[in-house]
Structure 1
C-alpha cells in the first residue's frame, strides 16, 4: 500500500537488521510511550523471532504488523500495527505506531495511518479501530485526528509503561460504510 512519500508492507525476515537499527536508534523515544521492553528485545535474534510471530498473527487474523518505508530511499522509518483484532459482534482492532525521530513532523505517520485504516476497512472489513495515546502526546493525538479519529475519553491507568500505570486518551474511527 502506497502513498505519495511512503509505503507500508508486511515485515519480511530480511527486514530484521533494519528493524533492530530502528528500535535501537529510537529506544529512548519509543520506550517513553510504549509498554516495557526487556533488554533482549534489542537483539537480532528477537527481531527475527518477532517478524516470524507477526507472520503467524497475520495468518491467524490476530494482528497485522507493517513496516513504514520511505518511497524514495526504501529505508524503514517506522512501524504500524493493527493488534487485538476482534471478530464476531465487535469487528475491531487497536492501532499502534512508532516513527523514527529523524522523520517526525513530515506527515509520514498520518500517511501510514490512513493506509492502515483503508486496509482495515476495505480488506479486513473491520467496523472500528481504536487508539490510546498518553494525554501529553499532542503530536500523536493530532496524527490520529488528521486521519479521521475522534476522541472518546480518558482510560484511567490502563497501560503500564516503564513500571507505572498511565492514563490514555482514547480515540476511534468507524468504518464509513457502517455510519
Structure 2
C-alpha cells in the first residue's frame, strides 16, 4: 500500500526493492554511517544483505515492532529516501523512535518533511502509536529543521554510539494524540 503526500509517497519495502535499497545504501554510505548507531560491514551493503534486511523488516511489520518505508517522488517514482518507525526498550521502558535518510541528490528539497508528516499520520491512524522520539547530532541542522517542521519538540540530550564513539544527540518528541 502506498501513502501519498504532495510531492512524494511512501510505501513499505518489498523483496523486489532489494537492489534499489542496495543502490541507495551504497550511494549514501558515508553520510548514513556518520549518523547511525548501527554497525555495518561489507556484507550489509551486498544485494543479499539488503534482501535479508528487507525480509527482517517485513517480519517486524507483521509483529508490529517496526515499519520501514521507501520515500518516492510522485512524478518519477524515483527513490528519494527511507524512513522507519521502530520500537526499542531503553531502561525498561518501551518507546517508538523514527529514523530517516534522504538521498544526497534530494537533500534540501523538503521531501523528508513531507515524508515525516505522512509517516506520523500512518503511525497515529494505523498502529495506535501515541508518541514518537527522534535524535539528531547537533550539527545536523537539516535533520533538526525537519523534526521541528513536523511538530517535534526538543526534549533533552542522549549519548549515542556512532562508529564506536559516543556522540551527544539532541532529542525530540512528538505526541500523535493531537495530530490531525
Structure 1 gaps of 5+ residues are: none
Structure 2 gaps of 5+ residues are: none
**C-alpha distance in 2 between matches for 1:121 and 1:53:** 23
- Secondary structure of the residue that 2:33 maps to in structure 1? helix
Q: How does 1:1-179 map to 2 (within 5 A)?
A: 1-35=3-37, 36-84=39-87, 92-155=95-158, 157=159, 159-177=160-178
Shift, 1:85, TM fit = 6.0
**C-alpha distance in 2 between matches for 1:21 and 1:78:** 11
**Shift in CA distance, 85/118, structure 1 to aligned 2, threshold 3 Å:** farther
- Secondary structure of the residue that 1:34 maps to in structure 2? coil
Provide the TM-score with structure 2 as the length reference.
0.91
**C-alpha distance in 1 between matches for 2:88 and 2:43:** 27
Provide the TM-score with structure 1 as the length reference.
0.92
Q: Is the 8 A contact 2:87 2:94 kept in 1?
A: no
**C-alpha distance in 2 between matches for 1:49 and 1:63:** 15
Q: Deviations over 1:115-147 (max 9, x none)?
A: 010011111121100001111111100000000
**Shift in CA distance, 17/23, structure 1 to aligned 2, threshold 3 Å:** same
Shift, 1:176, TM fit = 3.1
- Secondary structure of the residue that 2:4 maps to in structure 1? coil
